[in-house]
Structure 1
Amino acid sequence: MADLKCLYVTFNCARNLVNAEYFSQCIGSALPADLIVLSLQEIAPIAYSFLGGSFLTSYYDRIAKAVYAAGSKKDTVYEMVLAENVGMTGLMLFAKPRVARRFSRIETSGTGVGLWQMGNKSAVGTRLSYVIESEDEELVLTFVAAHLAPAENAYEKRNADWRTINENMAFTSITHRKTLQSKATPSPAMDESEPLLSSATDAQSNQSSQQNSGMFNPTSHLFFAGDLNYRTSDNAPGPHDHTTWPQPTTSSSDTRHFTNLLSKDQLTRELKADRTLHNLHESPIAFPPTYKYSTEAQNRVAERLSTPSSLDADLGSEEEEWLWAKHRQPSWCDRILYLLPPFPGTQPTIQEYTALPVQPTSDHRPVALLFSIPLKSLPQSGEQADWATPPFALRPDWQARRVAARRKEIVVGVLAYFALMWEGRALLLALIVGSIGGWAVLRSLLAY
């Protein structure tokens, strides 16, 4: 194997269970890849996301089911290597068995960037050391999933979130595996007793004595993906703006061709001004905005999928109309960027950068980057050793800040569970009724 073929997909799940069969079809065209990485935002409702553990099982299960099904159609088996989350942002990693066996070290990291650095907006990452066959070298890959601040006028907050991620993401090694409660469905190739990796937060707490490593590392490739939320306007749209928004057309001279809106992209502007995502590169965008699709757009997909044998036809059909939500400017919120090492023969080869079809469960379209990485380690020293210098230094109190934020997440998660989730409200009602009934029985006993 001369190169490692990778598929990186970012998807804002909109707090819903994905349609596994349709999502499987959407990613299947890019397979078989050696490594599949999924950056997931709003993976589940805030109560489940903040509480974690078994509350996320069904959400991970749907994603895993989609990956395994997509692989089986290409006669490829995948193992789930990693399922991590910080709040509502998740990262899942799947690999062919022969690839998974060559990971000599796995590191994880995560930080919140929401209120009080909680995980309603957050970033979670992993760093993998892949032993190159027949050589005493390692290929090091870092993948980060992120969800930044929303709203058209909040681009400066998004820039600040990028700084917070740099200052608080310290990667620490997982030196052991521990049994977890079915964090996600095991792959067909795995023994069901095979334990999954511990969570990013747990790993950080248990490995505090180790030397920390920030997101930028001169020995590692870096891929940064997520709902970065950069918009195409600094202001919310007016009541009639939607009449000028992009629609399918093959002529770039047409005023409604999406390239006319792409020129107003905030992320492109902020990158050029060196105010965010420093040192990262993005492949040319040749796909329409990925946000915000209307409920009608999602319902149309759902209706088509309800017809037998409609999956393949739906994927191959040309879109006649893009149905936008009228209160949000169509934007390329979902992005994948990466570092370009300056060393010959080490840069990733990008094969495709595209948006996947509209999903029936989300107002975002997933975005996929298909690429290959030469099996060649990056130099650890030399004249260009500073090519991956971090734009912001890691804070010495990163761990204490994450622990404090995690405590707040638990409190908010419990409150949200009882206030917002039907089973939580039912449990609370049962507790109240039980307490009243118990008090009534106790009073009657005391009356004798």
Structure 2
Amino acid sequence: MSQQALDLFVLTYNCAHNAIDVPSLSSTLFNAVDHVPDLLIISLQEMSPLSHGLIGGSLLSPFFSRISEAVEIAARKLSGDSPVAGNSANSEPRIFTNVAIRNIGMTGIMAFSRDAAAIQDLQTGEVGLGISSMGNKGGVGLRFTYADAKSGGETELTFVAAHLAAMEWDWERRNEDWKNIVRRLVFTPADGSEGGNAAKARVGSEEAPLLGESESANGIYKPTSHLFVAGDLNYRTSDTKPGPDDHEVSFPQPHDTVESPRHYSHLFKHDQLTRERLAGRTFHGLSEAPITFPPTYKFDEGPYLTADEDTKAWAWASHRWPSWTDRVLFLEAPKWMERKDRNAKIEVKKYEPLPLFKTSDHRAVLLSVKVPLVGIPEPYEEEDAASSDPRINPPFEIDPDWSTARAIARKEELVVGITGYLTGTWEGRCIIAGTIAALVGGYFLFLAAFGN
């Protein structure tokens, strides 16, 4: 797989608390490309019920496993090596290796590489953005060096999956969520030690201790790393909720022409993320490929698995403005990269949504790019002093208490998660009933054995 550029595919999807439908994802994942990429990053939001996400660990394994199954089926289909009907996609040899899994509550990130050995020096980080900094909303990240042995090229990559605050009127809270990601999502080695090749990061938060503050710890911005941020960022196309008639007179439909005031391109002019980003209030320094597709949220119903050109009507939810909540942004190559390779730039190939799946009111969105396999050099002092690049001068400083805050929030997550699981799921209620039955049975056995 000799190369000078990394073929990277980044997907973001809000699962609406449901396990992914494997046939839906596998049949559409690679429709936008004609070959299997070298590296696939998947950002997931609301990937499970709340209690499962807050507890983490083995409760999330089935949700991640379905994603892995869909990815492998899709890769085999595109490569012409589709599994025989009825056979498992888990048989060897696999096209992709799932090299990293990480979550903060219901927000997850997965990394799949065709060459597992290329993933080196894996680091991870997480921050809760929900109530009391818990993980009902949050950001989770992976950082590693991709080193291609055949070409000798390598580059450092940082990926952040995020789910920010909801509602049209809460755009300032979303800006604050971004600030907390910059301040509190701190990367540390996945295995707790410096260096080393990739090892699959833990699922949930029960299998490894929280990592403490460190002088060498760094946030999402790093002078020598590319950065990609993908997720349900929740920025809307209005600062207020729709009026009672807006869904009939203002919401876009497939038959609207560009000249029509209802065409979605006119709605995008009110996109909060673009407004806030260009004003320097959020997602500092990041770029986004041109959006030429319709809003990705919020759908009441289908048609499902249908391309836009074949869709006769979009069934928008009347109480939410159609919006581009699901986005993938990235940092362009820094200015000081030019002294090493003037042509080393990120090349966007595709930026578009997948069709609507029946299991969610969001559409998944993908970004396909070529990333130069050239390491970003450390900037010189004069470049450091003069640069406005957030890699050098981030908009906010790292919170010195980031680890303590996360440890406190983690304890609260477990209390809320376990309580919700025991009272709100069939399995949990069975545990309670079984425990009560055992206690009552034990009481009567005690009376029978020792009573008068």
Native 8 Å contact 1:51 1:414 kept in 2: yes
Sequence identity (%):
39
Aligned to 1:356: 354
Report 1:3-402 matches (<5 A): 3-29=5-31, 30=33, 31-75=35-79, 77-97=95-115, 100-133=116-149, 138-175=154-191, 196-199=200-203, 205-206=210-211, 211-243=216-248, 244-249=250-255, 251-294=257-300, 296-297=301-302, 300-301=303-304, 314=306, 318-341=310-333, 342=335, 343=337, 344-382=342-380, 383-385=382-384, 386=387, 387=389, 388=391, 389-402=393-406
Aligned to 2:436: 432
Native 8 Å contact 2:188 2:211 kept in 1: no
TM-score of the pair, normalised by structure 2: 0.87
User: Aligned-residue CA RMSD in angstroms?
Assistant: 2.2
Native 8 Å contact 2:190 2:199 kept in 1: no
CA distance in 2, matches of 1:381, 1:126: 23
The offset of 1:422, in angstroms, is 1.2
Matching residue's letter, 1:154: D
CA distance in 1, matches of 2:267, 2:52: 36
Native 8 Å contact 1:204 1:399 kept in 2: no
Native 8 Å contact 2:99 2:199 kept in 1: no
Relative distance call for 1:206 and 1:276 in structure 2 (3 A) is closer
Native 8 Å contact 1:109 1:172 kept in 2: yes
The offset of 1:239, in angstroms, is 1.8
Aligned with 1:212: secondary structure?
coil
Aligned with 1:410: secondary structure?
helix
Aligned to 2:91: none
Native 8 Å contact 1:109 1:204 kept in 2: no
CA distance in 2, matches of 1:95, 1:52: 24
Relative distance call for 1:11 and 1:141 in structure 2 (3 A) is same
Deviations 1:411-436 (A, max 9, x none): 11100101211111121122223323
Matching residue's letter, 2:118: R
The offset of 1:103, in angstroms, is 2.1
Relative distance call for 1:424 and 1:38 in structure 2 (3 A) is same
Aligned to 1:2: 4
Relative distance call for 1:135 and 1:94 in structure 2 (3 A) is closer
Aligned with 1:40: secondary structure?
strand
Structure 1 spans left out of the alignment, 5+ residues: 178-193, 302-310
Relative distance call for 1:195 and 1:441 in structure 2 (3 A) is farther
CA distance in 2, matches of 1:206, 1:162: 22
The offset of 1:327, in angstroms, is 1.2
Relative distance call for 1:329 and 1:36 in structure 2 (3 A) is same
Aligned with 1:225: secondary structure?
strand
Matching residue's letter, 1:240: D
Aligned with 2:259: secondary structure?
coil
Matching residue's letter, 2:234: N
The offset of 1:317, in angstroms, is 6.2
CA distance in 1, matches of 2:445, 2:98: 52
The offset of 1:328, in angstroms, is 1.0
Deviations 1:236-282 (A, max 9, x none): 11221101201003621012210111111111111122111111111
Matching residue's letter, 1:78: F
The offset of 1:396, in angstroms, is 1.1
| Bigger mean CA deviation after superposition, 166-175 or 14-23 | 166-175
CA distance in 1, matches of 2:55, 2:186: 22
Relative distance call for 1:217 and 1:367 in structure 2 (3 A) is same
TM-score of the pair, normalised by structure 1: 0.88
Relative distance call for 1:349 and 1:125 in structure 2 (3 A) is same
Deviations 1:316-367 (A, max 9, x none): 8611110011111111100111101223323210001101100110000000
The offset of 1:36, in angstroms, is 0.4
Matching residue's letter, 1:144: V
Relative distance call for 1:139 and 1:200 in structure 2 (3 A) is farther
CA distance in 2, matches of 1:176, 1:396: 19
Native 8 Å contact 2:298 2:362 kept in 1: yes
CA distance in 1, matches of 2:425, 2:417: 11
Structure 2 spans left out of the alignment, 5+ residues: 82-94
Native 8 Å contact 1:167 1:392 kept in 2: yes
The offset of 1:440, in angstroms, is 3.4
